[in-house]
Amino acid sequence: MPTTPDSPPRPLRWGILGCARITRRGLAPGILASQWGTVFAMASRDVATARSWAEEFGAVKAYGDYRALLDDPEVDAVYIPLPNELHRPWVLAAADAGKHVLCEKPLALDAVEAAAMVEHGRSRGVLLMEAFMWRHQPRTAALLTLVREGGLGRLRLIRSSFSFPIEPGDWRLDPRRGGGALWDVGCYGVNTCRLFAGAEPVAVRALRHPHPSGVDLTLTAELAFPGGLIGLVDCSFEAPFRCEYELVGTSGSIRVPDAYLPPALPTALRFAAGSDAEGAGPEALSFDGANQYARMIDAFACSVAAGTLVPPAEDGLAQMQVLDRVKAAALDVAD
How much helix, strand and coil, in percent to the nearest 5, is found in the chain? 35, 25, 35
**Helices (H) then strands (E): counts for the chain:** 11, 15
* Residue 7, pLDDT score: 61
- φ and ψ of 207, to 5 deg: -130, 150
Would you call 270 helix, strand, or coil by DSSP?
strand
Strand order, beta sheet including 100-103: 61-63, 37-43, 12-17, 77-80, 100-103, 128-130
Rounded distance between C-alpha atoms, residue 172 and residue 181, angstroms: 8
Task: Write the CB contacts of 216 (distance below 8 Å, at least 6 apart in sequence).
Answer: 180, 181, 182, 186, 208, 209, 210, 327, 330
List pLDDT tens digits, range 60-92: 999 999 999 999 999 999 999 999 999 999 999
Mean confidence (pLDDT) of the chain? 95
88 within 8 A of 117, measured Cβ to Cβ: yes
Half-sphere exposure of 293 (CA within 13 A, CB side): 20
- The DSSP 8-state label assigned to residue 74 in this structure reads T
Residue 244, beta-bridge partner list? 161, 257
More confidently predicted of 106 and 6: 106
Average pLDDT over every residue of 290-300: 97
pLDDT 10s digits, 262-278: 999 999 999 998 655 55
Give the domain ranges of the chain. Answer: 12-133+294-314, 138-289
In 16-30, which positions are buried (b, 16+ CB within 10 angstroms) versus exposed (e)? bbbbbeebeebbbbb
pLDDT for res 329: 98
pLDDT by residue (tens digit) across 97-142?
999 999 999 999 999 999 999 999 999 999 999 999 999 999 999 9
What's the pLDDT score for residue 334? 86
pLDDT digits (tens, 9 = 90+) for 205-252: 999 999 999 999 999 999 999 999 999 999 999 999 999 999 999 999
Per residue in 16-30, pLDDT tens?
Answer: 999 999 999 999 999
* Residue 99 falls in the annotated catalytic set: no
Which CATH number among 3.40.462.20, 2.60.120.10, 3.40.50.720, 3.40.50.170 corresponds to the domain 12-133+294-314? 3.40.50.720
Q: Are 225 and 202 in contact (CB under 8 A)?
A: yes
β-sheet with 283-286: strand ranges across: 283-286, 267-272, 252-257, 242-249, 155-163, 229-236, 216-225, 203-210, 330-332
Mean pLDDT of 173-197: 97
How much is the pLDDT for 1?
A: 44
CATH pick for 138-289 out of 3.30.360.10, 3.40.50.300, 3.30.390.10, 1.10.760.10: 3.30.360.10
pLDDT of residue 6: 56
